[in-house]
Amino acid sequence: MSTDRKTIGIIGMGTVGKAMLSVFPHAIGYSPHEYAQNRDRIKECDLVFICAPTPHVPEKGCDTSAVEESFALLQKSAIVVIRSTVPPGTTERLQQHYPAYKLLFNPEFLSEATAIADTQSPFRQIIGYTKESFPIAGEIRDLLPLAAFTRLMPATEAELVKYWSNTFYATKVVFANQMYDLCRKLDIDYETVKECVRADARIGRWHLEIFNNLFSAARKDHRGYGGKCLPKDIKNLIHFANEKGVPLKLLQKVDALNEKLKNEAPQASLPRPERP
């Protein structure tokens, strides 16, 4: 499969969709507001990436309606790659509902502030397939930017990879905030302690910032994690797991602690202590 022989469409032109347009500059982009003129042209596309929003709705969980409504715009034989973050099992459910399509799930692992760079040079490239789309999963992977880690896997597994990743990032941010409070109490420098801790590759360098996420375009005038993704994704996974009878008590606590952190006024960083 070659992009020269495929007409590519992108539905949803927010952060994720515009980053995909940087990879496929000749793609036809559509969103109801900014790219409304391309609505009918999506039917010309052989391969469509769905990057529609999936917000959290209290008491209902993840709202996948924008993803599902996208199918009304497609030609009946299209290859559909879902980039939106959706609950595990969504791609399989939609594949059964729309058997004429070949559906795949390709999670994005970008940060808002570096979305284009993260999409063009990803750390990992994961393709989730259904039985119907398995024969073309490798070809779709080869169309996407090369990553050091690449994996083809069932779509439901790939969907959980995305949620696991984002909720772990959120957990790290809240944990770091608690260590920050301890550092202040001990009158020691959090940044120095953090630098030494994150030097261990098993812990990692990211998501240890106190005021939101260093790699988020969100406001940085409150503590804890913020942005468009982490807050909704942790709430959506908690709701999903509760429906499955698996209460995620740790994530429930992380979510509650973050709500408290967001309401705290920013504190000035302590000066680094003088060294002997």
pLDDT digits (tens, 9 = 90+) for 210-235: 876 445 555 556 899 999 999 999 99
Per-residue pLDDT tens digits for 72-120: 999 888 999 999 999 999 999 999 999 999 999 999 999 988 999 999 9
Query: In CATH terms, are 8-154 and 162-262 the same topology?
Result: no
Asked if residue 20 lies in contact with residue 83, where contact means CB atoms within 8 angstroms, the answer is yes
Pair 11, 75: CB distance under 8 Å:
no
- pLDDT for the residue numbered 211: 79
The reported pLDDT for the residue numbered 21 is: 98
Phi/psi at 66 (nearest 5 deg)? -65, -35
CATH T-level assignment (fold) for domain 162-262: N-(1-d-carboxylethyl)-l-norvaline Dehydrogenase; domain 2 (1.10.1040)
Which of 196, 19, 49 is closest to 114 using CA atoms? Answer: 19
How much is the pLDDT for 1? 47
pTM: 0.92
Q: Residue 270: what residue type?
A: L
Quote the pLDDT of residue 129. Answer: 99
**CATH homologous superfamily, domain 8-154:** NAD(P)-binding Rossmann-like Domain (3.40.50.720)
What does the domain layout of the chain look like in residue ranges?
Answer: 8-154, 162-262
- Extract the residue ranges of the chain whose pLDDT is less than 70: 1-4, 212-221, 265-276
The helix-helix angle for 155-186 and 249-262 (nearest 10°) equals 50
For 101-246, where are the E strands, in sequence order? 102-105, 124-129, 149-154
